[in-house]
Homo-oligomer: A and B are copies of this chain.
Amino acid sequence: MPDFLNDKKRYYTPVEYVFDKVGGLYKMPILWRLKDKSLRFSELKRSINRASDRMLSKTLKELVADGFVSKEIIPEVPVKTIYTITEKGKRSIAIISTLREYGFELMKEDGIEH
């Protein structure tokens, strides 16, 4: 008895839906970096250098498909791509910011330095 379906996937809570759309290791880091400026693939790669090319590419593709990010291709040689946050993406920033604050709070509570 699912709460609701979308794109053939089952979700039981709205939080589950959020995690599916902007969860995982790289989606929020990407959105966070795009929040006030557009970036190229290689710039994102340098900024989030722990992500492999494959994961960065895959994650960006999902963000574009879900409407959080738009992609512009400039057909020079070599090719340039520019990723820009959308209005929908901007509406996710508040949540990321809140999660970051809670994360710092939790880390302090747990005695973690950073």
On A, residues with C-beta under 8 Å from B are 1, 3-4, 6, 12-19, 21, 23, 25, 28-29, 50, 88, 91-92, 94-96, 98-107, 109-110, 112-114
CB of B12 within 8 A of CB of A50, answer: yes
Contact A13 B100 (CB under 8 A): yes
- Distance in Å from the Cβ of A48 to the closest Cβ of chain B? 8
Q: Quick one: which of B6, B14, B98 contacts A104, CB cutoff 8 A? A: B14
Contact across chains for B103 and A4 when beta carbons are under 8 A apart: no
| CB contact under 8 A between A17 and B96, given known A50-B12, A113-B4 | no
| Structural contact, A17 and B95, CB atoms closer than 8 A | no
A18→B109 contact, CB < 8 A: no
Q: How far is the CA of A114 from the CA of B99 in the complex (A)?
A: 25
CB closest chain-B residue, reference A99: B15
Please give 7 more A-B residue pairs, beta carbons under 8 A apart, in addition to A14-B99, A14-B103, A15-B28: A1-B50, A14-B101, A14-B104, A14-B107, A17-B106, A17-B107, A18-B103
Q: Please give the distance in Å from A11's CB to the nearest CB on chain B.
A: 8
